[in-house]
Amino acid sequence: MAYSDKVMNHYENPRNVGSMDKADKSVGTGLVGAPSCGDVMKLQLKINKEGVIKGR
């Protein structure tokens, strides 16, 4: 397979993976890609009142 060690490492030891409550007003959700291309990606950010970002 033509994947770099770094990619494989993240694949085998996933970091920052999971879901946050998308109904939470402090959570922003983005979704890109298409299932027909097999590359759907979801990114969620949780931002508090002070503007500190917690990403997922």
Which residues here bind other proteins, judged by CB under 8 A?
1, 3, 8, 11, 14, 17-19, 31-42
- The residue among 14 and 51 lying less far from other proteins, judged by its C-beta, is 14
Q: How far is the CB of 30 from other proteins (least distance, A)?
A: 10
- The residue among 19 and 26 lying less far from other proteins, judged by its C-beta, is 19
Name the nearest CA neighbour of 42 among 24, 20, 11.
20
- The residue among 17 and 52 lying less far from other proteins, judged by its C-beta, is 17
Q: Are 15 and 23 in contact (CB under 8 A)?
A: no
Cβ neighbours, 10 Å, residue 8: 11
